[in-house]
Structure formats: structure tokens, C-alpha cells
């Protein structure tokens, strides 16, 4: 099994957005939602429209993983607007799948999802990109934005911070922290 990497460069993420958006809004939003939330692939592929809606019927401002219910992931306003528009244009029912197969109207298979992500990456000349890239990209950018590795570890459900650091491709030698107190 080949190792996949997170997408580290914002420019590459933007390029993936462009390629996927030209293919389909569904593919674009599948990718964008996944890298903004770090949602597990099985949850992503089986997600219903009402899973992302709040009690008023709007797209939720925060995503919460079942395994870490005390960690809230804020969804960008633009993503929320894009999801709302997508649901409206595609006339998706609340109990229907958010990212369904165009051919069968069932949930996307892992193979279909892989083809979507991998072909967009290949078009851009990006290598070592697969489905786990989505979750790794989320975790990598959360870490780079200053989120504690222990919080990311808990969110991902990893046993150790070392496992999380390895997952996102951060050397433990690079992650030294200096705390200087002058009390």
C-alpha cells in the first residue's frame, strides 16, 4: 500500500478546488468539506443532508465528530454558503445523501471517491494523493495554524501524539517548543 501525503501548499489546494469545480460541484464540495473538517471517509461517503443542517435548516456553523464531541470545527462562511446553494440547486432531500453517485443515486463508493481525488491530483501533477490525503491535509493545516497536537490526536482518534505527528508528516525533531515564563 502506497503512503499518501497531506496537501501542504495552499496553492495546491486552490488548484485542486479549480480542477474539481470544473468537473462538478459535488466533487469540489466533497473535497472542500473533507479538508475543512477532517471527517472520516466512511462518514463523508454516507453523510446525509440533515447531518450538516442545524435545527433551523441552515448548514451548521460547526462540525463535530462523534469520537471527539467536545471539539468543534468551524465551517467557513463561504463553504456553508456553497453547501446551501448545492443542496438547493440539486434539490437534495434532508434524508438524502449529500454526496451521492450520479449514476446510482447511492453513496459514492470508496473507489469512486478515490478516482475523483486522484484524477484531479494527477491532472495537476501531484503525486502521493489519495483518500487519506483529505484527513491528513486537515490535520496538517490544523497543526500549522497552531492547534495543539494533543487536540488533533484526540480529534483523529489516535493513541499517541507520535502517531499523529507521523500521520501528518511532521518530524518530531521539527516540533520543539520553547516556553519562556517571566513571572
State residue 182's pLDDT score: 72
The answer to whether residue 17 is domain-embedded is yes
- Please report the sign of the dihedral spanned by the C-alpha atoms of residue 149, residue 152, residue 154, residue 158: negative
More confident residue, 74 or 172: 74
Cell numbers that stand for 140 in this block: 496538517
Grid coordinates in use for 94?
Answer: 434532508
| Mean pLDDT confidence for 149-177 | 88
The answer to whether residue 166 is domain-embedded is no
Structural element, H or E, at residue 64: strand 62-64
User: Mean per-residue pLDDT for 125-131?
Assistant: 96
Residue 152 confidence (pLDDT): 96
Mean pLDDT within 42-61: 97
Q: Is residue 154 part of a domain?
A: no
Is there a domain that residue 112 lies in?
yes
**Domain count across the chain:** 1
Structure confidence at residue 183 (pLDDT): 77
Mean pLDDT across the stretch 68-77?
95
Domain hosting 109: range is 10-135
CB contact at 8 A, 59 and 159:
no
Say if residue 174's pLDDT is above 60. Answer: no
Average pLDDT over residues 54-79: 94
Return the C-alpha cell found at 109: 463508493
Cell 443542517, located at residue: 53
- pTM for the whole structure: 0.92
97 domain residue, yes or no: yes
pLDDT number for residue 175 = 53
CATH number of the domain to which 77 belongs: 1.10.443.10
Tens of pLDDT, residues 8-18: 999 999 999 99
Question: Which residues sit opposite 59 in a β-bridge?
Answer: 53
Q: Is the pLDDT of residue 67 over 90?
A: no
Whose CA is closest to 155, among 138, 169, 171? Answer: 138
Residue 149 lies in a domain: no
Residue 42 belongs to some domain of the structure: yes
CA 48, CA 46: separation in Å to the nearest integer?
6
- DSSP-based three-state secondary structure for 37: helix
- Mean pLDDT, rounded, for 106-131: 96
Amino acid at each position: 500500500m502506497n503512503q499518501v501525503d497531506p496537501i501542504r501548499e495552499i496553492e495546491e489546494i486552490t488548484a485542486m478546488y479549480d480542477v474539481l469545480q470544473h468537473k462538478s460541484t459535488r466533487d469540489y464540495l466533497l473535497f472542500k468539506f473533507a479538508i475543512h473538517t477532517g471527517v472520516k471517509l466512511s462518514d463523508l461517503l454516507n453523510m446525509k443532508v440533515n447531518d450538516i443542517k442545524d435545527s433551523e435548516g441552515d448548514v451548521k456553523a460547526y462540525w463535530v465528530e462523534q469520537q471527539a464531541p467536545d471539539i468543534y470545527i468551524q465551517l467557513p462562511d463561504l463553504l456553508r454558503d456553497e453547501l446551501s446553494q448545492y443542496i438547493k440547486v440539486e434539490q437534495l432531500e434532508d434524508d438524502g445523501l449529500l454526496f451521492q453517485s450520479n449514476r446510482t443515486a447511492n453513496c459514492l463508493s470508496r473507489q469512486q471517491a478515490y478516482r475523483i481525488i486522484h484524477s484531479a491530483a494527477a491532472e495537476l501533477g501531484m503525486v502521493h494523493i489519495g483518500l487519506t490525503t483529505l484527513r491528513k491535509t486537515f490535520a496538517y493545516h490544523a497543526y500549522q495554524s497552531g492547534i495543539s497536537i494533543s487536540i488533533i490526536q484526540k480529534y483523529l482518534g489516535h493513541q499517541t501524539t507520535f502517531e499523529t505527528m507521523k500521520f501528518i508528516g511532521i518530524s518530531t525533531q521539527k516540533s520543539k517548543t520553547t516556553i519562556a515564563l517571566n513571572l
